[in-house]
Amino acid sequence: MQINFSFVLKYSAAVAAILFMNACLPSPNPDPGSSVEPESGANTSVDFGKTKGGESTEIYTLKNKNGLIVKVATYGATLVELHLPDKDGNFVDVLNGFDDVSGYEGEDNQYFGCTTGRVCNRIAKGKFTLDGKEYTLATNNDPNHLHGGEGKALSKQVWKAESATDAQAVTFSITTPDGEEGYPGNLSIKVTYTLTDENELRIDYEATTDKATPVNLTNHAYFNLAGSGSGTVLDHELTLNADKYTPTDDTLIPTGKIESVEGTPREFRTSRGIGEGIPDKEATKTEDCKTAPKGYDHNFVLNGNAGEQRLAARLKDPKSGRVMEIYTDQPGIQFYSGNFLKGQKGKGGKVYPFRGAICLETQHFPDSVNHDNFPNTILKPGETYKTTTVHKFSAQ
């Protein structure tokens, strides 16, 4: 066989040119808005900016084999992004948040995606008594204490990060000293985020103390399953595995009663649209119509046994088909309907409108430290606080 060497040389040169051009082109990104595309099972970190105090922060990216992406930052051990596919395989980010740490330090941040504590939710008038001593906390949600306080709350500190080498996970840790934000004891905390190949985001909390102290940790992510900044969530369909709830006074502090949801606007035992129970005009402040004028901000008492994993909530966006199920071992879940979102701008200039996302915060009940009939939130020396919440995602 006779070989045409002239043709071979021309063909080889053409192939080399094509390969060079392809190498210079950016790789396709099936998940628009994601700046980091790690391989499944890997995690990477990039700079997330410096705080006002000059501390460096990082953001870690986790990705599973199905293309789901989670981004978490060292500032506040915060969930920043969560990219999920719809029923047609189109990915969007479903979390409210900001492009760098400066947004999370600004006045437009309403606890977006952060780890809250030492005690999440509210403590009445910022006071509690433990072992015969009264403790005074910041009243940063007048007249009450909210989500751990002001400048040194867990959501406003830079945590240490340790990424796993053999799993799609990252662990954040912090120690808050005795007396910080008014709380007793040196409290050491770990929060681990794991993204599984079963499309689950698992959050494991662990804490120890050298002095008795109240502890109640949760994540404060704002979800819009249609995509963050895509309008209200009033058409989302919600189910809560809760026959009862804890009624509150006008400042959202529990009265101490535990009552049935039956016949009230808090009836979500079967799936229904979030907007169905929110009045168009201000609700009258009666016991029968206490959704709060702007929407929901209520603690629901979960069915089943606290300490055992069970389904707490199911949220679906009927248009995209995205579904989120939440499983937890906690006794309660706070349903908050984005009542104070105000059109602030977030990631990529997206606008977060009034009722544009919801929070489903697994927790012990608000103000438990002041109610003997509520599940205990006191952690003592020698004990280990442990709790796990799992978010499972699908599309239908």
Centroid of chain to Cα 348: 19
Instruction: For the beta carbon of residue 123, count every other beta carbon within 10 angstroms.
Output: 28
Q: Report DSSP letters for 182-220, one per residue.
A: G--S-EEEEEEEEE-TTSEEEEEEEEEESS-EE-B-EE-
- Indicate whether 10 pLDDT > 70: no
- Indicate whether 324 pLDDT > 60: yes
Q: Look at residue 78 in the predicted model and tell me its pLDDT.
A: 98
Q: Look at residue 280 in the predicted model and tell me its pLDDT.
A: 56
- Indicate whether 304 pLDDT > 70: yes
pLDDT digits (tens, 9 = 90+) for 246-284: 999 999 999 999 999 999 999 999 999 999 988 654 444
Spot the catalytic one: 181, 237, 361, 364.
361
- Indicate whether 21 pLDDT > 70: no
Is residue 391 part of the annotated active site? The answer reads no
- Indicate whether 22 pLDDT > 80: no
Q: What letter does residue 38 receive in the DSSP assignment? A: P
Centroid of chain to Cα 7: 61
Confidence of residue 24 (pLDDT cuts 50, 70, 90): very low
Of the candidate ranges 52-66, 162-176, 254-268, the one whose mean pLDDT is the lowest: 162-176
The set of residues, in sequence order, having a beta carbon less than 8 Å from that of 218 and lying 6+ positions away, is: 115, 116, 117, 120, 121, 330, 334, 361, 362, 363, 389
- Indicate whether 244 pLDDT > 50: yes
pLDDT digits (tens, 9 = 90+) for 39-49: 555 567 899 99
Confidence of residue 294 (pLDDT cuts 50, 70, 90): confident
**256-288: b or e for each residue (b if 16 or more CB lie within 10 Å)?**
eebeebeebbbbbeeeeebeebbeeeebeeeee
User: How far apart, in whole angstroms, are the C-alpha atoms of residue 201 and residue 196?
Assistant: 7
Confidence of residue 293 (pLDDT cuts 50, 70, 90): low
pLDDT digits (tens, 9 = 90+) for 113-164: 999 999 999 999 999 999 999 999 999 999 999 999 999 999 999 999 998 7
User: How far apart, in whole angstroms, are the C-alpha atoms of residue 255 and residue 245?
Assistant: 11
Q: What is the mean pLDDT of the chain?
A: 89
Is residue 364 part of the annotated active site? The answer reads no
The pTM (predicted TM-score) of the whole model is 0.88
Tell me, what amino acid is at 235? Answer: D
User: How far apart, in whole angstroms, are the C-alpha atoms of residue 190 and residue 324?
Assistant: 25
Q: Look at residue 238 in the predicted model and tell me its pLDDT.
A: 98
Q: What is the dihedral of CA 253, 254, 260, 263, to 10 degrees?
A: -30
Domains of the chain: 43-395 (2.70.98.10)
Centroid of chain to Cα 282: 28
Tell me, what amino acid is at 304? Answer: G
For Cα atoms 261, 339, 99, give the angle at the middle one, nearest 5 degrees: 130
Spot the catalytic one: 83, 220, 236, 364.
220
Q: Look at residue 153 in the predicted model and tell me its pLDDT.
A: 97
